[in-house]
Structure formats: C-alpha cells, structure tokens
Amino acid sequence: MNVQAPTAVSQEQIDQQLAYIDRIAALSRDFEQQHGRRPRAYTQTFGCQQNEADTERIVGMLHEMGYVSTNQTSDADVLIYNTCAVREHAESRALGNIGALSHLKKERPEVIIGLCGCMVQQDHIPEKIRRSYPQVELLFGTHALWRFPEFLYRKLSGEKRVFDTSGDARGEIAEGLPVLREKGPRAWLSIMYGCNNFCTYCIVPYVRGRERSRRPEEIEKELRELVALGYKDITLLGQNVNSYGKDLEDAVDFSDLLCRLNQVPGDFLLRFMTSHPKDASHKLFDTMAACDKVAKQLHLPFQSGSDIVLKRMNRGYTAQHYRELIAYARQKMPDITLSSDIIVGFPGETEEDFAKTLDLVQQVGFDMLFTFLYSKRSGTPAATYEDPTSKEEKQDRFARLLQAQDACVLPRQQAYQDRVLRVLVDGTSKDPQYPLTARTEGGLLVCCAGPESKIGEFLEVKIEKTTLRCLFAREVDNRM
C-alpha cells in the first residue's frame, strides 16, 4: 500500500503568517488613528461548504488583523471574493460581481479588491484577471490560502499587484490559523481536503489538489472547541469523506472517526458531506446507526441512473450498486433522510439514459435533490466528448426531472403530519404564525411557532401542516 502522510505546513511557516497578522494589526491601529474608525472588510463566497469554511478562515485572519466585517461593498477597505469553478454559472457570477467593482476602485483607489478560491486556481484565470480586471490587485489560489496574511501585507506595503497561485497540488494542511465562524448553532468542520476521483466532468480535483486528511486528534480537538462554544449542529466536510484516512499512517477510516467523535460529550448533532457511492460501505451505515449523535441523514450523489453514463463519468459504481446501498442504509435506519446530486445532459446522454435517471429518482424516493445541467469545464476529459443533444432538449429533461422529484417529495412530506420530532431552531422565518426556522435531525426545513429566544435550542415539536418545501410545527408541551 502506498501510504504517504500528508505534507503539513510547518509550525515555523504558520508562525511567519501569525507575525504578518501582527504587522497588519499595527497598520490597522494607525488606520484607526487617522480615520477615527477601524478598517472594514467585505467577503463574499461562491460555491460549496468547503469554500464557506475557507472564507471563515479568511474572516478569522482579517479579524485578528484588526478589521471589522461589513456587508456592504461600498464602505469596505478590503474586499475578498472566494470563487468557485464547478459550473460556468458560478464563474460568471463571480466575474460579474468583480466587473461591477471597477467604479468603486475609481472612486476610492485605495480600496483593495482580492480574489481567491477554486476559480483562480485554474491555469488560465490569473492571466485573464491580469488583463481584463485591473481593479483586482490581490489574487491567491486554494493551495496558498494559508499565506493570505503575507499577501495582504505585501499589498498594504505598496506592491502593485500580488498574484500567487503557487503551492503543491499534492496539497498541504495548515493547522493553527484563526477562524471566525458564522453565528448560530451550525458549524462546518473540514476533515479532509482535495479529491482524487477525477470524475470526467469535474474541475474540483484540478483546483483543490490531492486528497489529504487532517489527523483525527486535530479534528477531535476542533470539535470539542466547537461544542464548548455552543455549536450544536456540526457538519464534517470533505469532497469524499468515505475515503478519509487513506493517506494517514494510522489505520483509521471514516467510520472510526465518526465513532471517536460521537464520544465527545455534549448535546450536538454530527452530519457529514459528501459521501461517494463507490466508497460508502456497510460499515459506514452500521456506524451511523450505532452512533447517537450522528444525524440519520445521507447525501449520496449518484449523478446518473445509466450505467453507460456512470462509466463515462468515471464514477466507479453501477445504478444497481447504488440501489443496494440505499436499501441497506434504510434497513439499518428506517427514518433516514436521503438526498443526492444529479447531472442532466452529460455529453452523449440519450433519452434512454435519462429515463434511467428518472427511474432511479422514482424508485428511491429522495427527500431532497440537487440537480444540475451539465456545464463544460475546460481541462476536464468530458470537455472533449461529443455533445450532440440540444440545449432545449437538456432543459426539457431538467424540467421533467424536477417534476418527478416534486411528485415524490410531496407524499414524503405529508407523511410527517402529526409526528413529533426533535428539531434544532436556527433562525427566523417570514411566516407570522410560525416565525422560527428549524431543521429536523434529517435536515428537513421546519417553520416553527415560538419566541426568538428559542434560537439555538433543540425542541420537541409536533408537525401541524406540511407543504412541498416545509413542515410547520409547534412545540410539544411536556409539562402536562
């Protein structure tokens, strides 16, 4: 077996970055003296939870540097856009936002506009930004994110443009940098980075580097901190959590990690995403069933119901294998909530292939689906595949898929009528009768009656009404 420990960023390198943070904090104090206020930072995230978790690191570092957060671009001194490359739409949104900032830069030339994340890690992007987006003066890739303090310091010290997408695609792990999470009961906890799967449509392995796992003790330490801070719904993140640990020297897999984390004391729920069907095992489902803190929720993307398409996507399983996995998971956890990702219109997908996707959707009965029209990503193998199906035909398939899904979800939602469930209240809704939002253990959205003081608490509620997208509930009175 080719076991190689992930490269860790050394303590010395981390200390250097912490020293840059201190230097910037001194600059921020000067700024405050001059302007009578602290410098402000605006951040915006595109893409997946992994990117959101990365932005929380950037915000954590900015905070230590003396910046306060603002949610307005117009009054920010530093703006950082954390970009995504998974579909063309994500890229055009980011580029559109940055394009719209050229007037801000003209009005206030001292403003620093920065780009980071997956989009800029693609080979052709830095040059494009250099040429067409002169307002962007700071750019760093996913591999270099931990060096953000150094880059910002260089920019603040007068360097015209700081662009750096260097870093080893095998990837490194940087521990010990600050992080500032969103308020509320939910938190992301990265357990691994990168992806080794090279699904033929997907850009992620090219922009996130190779799979590397954080050490179990580091993850447990962070989980304990989160629980102590009051977080109650913690999602373990990785592109394919089922291959957790394969690169570590200790013989530890994802199920072992779940068992270990389940023993951390406290009242909290653990979720995880994403699982890959090729590596999801019976052991995982047995572990989920046995661990009381692990939410009975599974996001298991199947992408297509056609074996021919799955093979051309390089997914490494068949539709039948997927059905068997679901059957086993349901046998162990009858109440489990299931969701999936599906790509419609993969190059060469025929009507017959698509019909198999529809079949699988109808047979399994998912609680939630994330459906995407195939988007060509340059540099991936599928970008060279013939794609004779028209856009209209693809859109028609997409619409039929959504229809089929809604038809499956409605009875699933209705089956919750009058049930008593434990939910975690996490925010407010616009419905005056049910002004709180909450999630079930399975991750379903619930609008709940009750005062705002309940935010952050677990409640026993009874479902009074159901719709396609939401359950409506009231707290069960336990005093009687």
Give the residue, chosen from 57, 186, 208, 299, that forms a contact with ligand F3S under the rule CB under 6 A: 208
198 binds, among ligand F3S, ligand SF4, ligand SAH, none (CB under 5 to 8 A by kind): ligand SF4
CB closer to ligand SAH, 87 vs 186: 87
Give the torsion through C-alpha atoms of 210, 186, 443, 428, to 10 deg: -140
Tokens of 305: 């119901």
> Does residue 47 interact with ligand F3S by CB under 6 A?
yes
Burial letters 141-164, b for 16+ CB under 10 A, else e = bbbbbbbbbbbbbebbeeeeebbb
Phi, psi torsion values for 416, nearest 5 degrees: -80, -10
Contact between residue 411 and residue 386 where contact means Cβ atoms under 8 Å apart: no
Within 13 Å and on the Cβ side, how many CA atoms surround 9?
A: 19
| Cα(118)–Cα(103) distance, integer angstroms | 25
Query: What is the contact surface with ligand SAH in residues (CB under 6 A)?
Result: 86-87, 201-202, 204, 239-240, 274, 276, 301, 303, 341, 343, 372, 374-375, 377
For the bound state, the minimum distance from the C-beta of residue 238 to ligand SAH, rounded and expressed in Å, comes to 8
Contact between residue 232 and residue 197 where contact means Cβ atoms under 8 Å apart: no
Contact between residue 98 and residue 113 where contact means Cβ atoms under 8 Å apart: yes
> Does residue 86 interact with ligand F3S by CB under 6 A?
yes
Burial letters 284-302, b for 16+ CB under 10 A, else e = bbebbbebebbbbbbbbbb
50 binds, among ligand SF4, ligand F3S, ligand SAH, none (CB under 5 to 8 A by kind): ligand F3S
Contact between residue 116 and residue 80 where contact means Cβ atoms under 8 Å apart: yes
Report the side by side order of strands in the sheet with 68-69. 68-69, 40-45, 78-83, 112-117, 136-140, 162-164
Q: Which x/- pattern over 165-204 shows residues binding ligand SF4 (rule: CB under 6 A)?
A: ------------------------------x-xxx--x-x
| Cα(43)–Cα(28) distance, integer angstroms | 18
Ranges within 97-136 binding ligand SF4 (CB under 6 A): none
84 binds, among ligand SAH, ligand F3S, ligand SF4, none (CB under 5 to 8 A by kind): ligand F3S
> Does residue 51 interact with ligand F3S by CB under 6 A?
yes
| Cα(395)–Cα(292) distance, integer angstroms | 42
Tokens of 454: 């309940």
> Does residue 204 interact with ligand F3S by CB under 6 A?
yes
> Does residue 50 interact with ligand F3S by CB under 6 A?
yes
Phi, psi torsion values for 263, nearest 5 degrees: -85, -10
Contact between residue 242 and residue 282 where contact means Cβ atoms under 8 Å apart: no
> Does residue 340 interact with ligand SF4 by CB under 6 A?
no
> Does residue 202 interact with ligand F3S by CB under 6 A?
no
Phi, psi torsion values for 66, nearest 5 degrees: 100, 5
CB closer to ligand F3S, 30 vs 88: 88
Determine the Cα angle at 58 with ends 56 and 60, to 5°: 65
Q: Which x/- pattern over 116-155 shows residues binding ligand F3S (rule: CB under 6 A)?
A: --x-------------------------------------
CB closer to ligand SF4, 259 vs 383: 383
For the bound state, the minimum distance from the C-beta of residue 275 to ligand F3S, rounded and expressed in Å, comes to 16
Q: Could you write out the DSSP letters of every residue in 113-146?
A: EEEEEHHHHSTTHHHHHHHH-TTEEEEE-STTGG
Give the residue, chosen from 84, 120, 177, 423, that forms a contact with ligand F3S under the rule CB under 6 A: 84
The span of 21-29, 47-55, 290-298, 304-312 binding ligand F3S (CB under 6 A) equals: 47-55
* Residue number closest to ligand SAH, CB atom: 341
In DSSP terms, 371 is beta-bridged to 342
Four-residue CA torsion sign, 237, 272, 203, 277:
positive
Give the residue, chosen from 205, 238, 305, 345, that forms a contact with ligand SF4 under the rule CB under 6 A: 205
Give the residue, chosen from 235, 240, 389, 413, that forms a contact with ligand SF4 under the rule CB under 6 A: 240
Give the residue, chosen from 85, 115, 162, 438, that forms a contact with ligand F3S under the rule CB under 6 A: 85
For the bound state, the minimum distance from the C-beta of residue 199 to ligand SAH, rounded and expressed in Å, comes to 6
118 binds, among ligand SAH, ligand F3S, ligand SF4, none (CB under 5 to 8 A by kind): ligand F3S
For the bound state, the minimum distance from the C-beta of residue 119 to ligand F3S, rounded and expressed in Å, comes to 7
Q: Which x/- pattern over 148-187 shows residues binding ligand F3S (rule: CB under 6 A)?
A: ----------------------------------------
372 binds, among ligand SAH, ligand SF4, ligand F3S, none (CB under 5 to 8 A by kind): ligand SAH
> Does residue 380 interact with ligand F3S by CB under 6 A?
no
For the bound state, the minimum distance from the C-beta of residue 273 to ligand SF4, rounded and expressed in Å, comes to 11
For the bound state, the minimum distance from the C-beta of residue 195 to ligand SAH, rounded and expressed in Å, comes to 6
CA 279 to chain centre: 20
In order of 86, 91, 134, 387, the CA distances from 126 in angstroms are 17, 13, 11, 29
User: Which residues make up the interface to ligand F3S (CB under 6 A)?
Assistant: 47-48, 50-51, 84-86, 118, 203-204, 207-208
User: Which residues make up the interface to ligand SF4 (CB under 6 A)?
Assistant: 195, 197-199, 202, 204-205, 239-240, 276
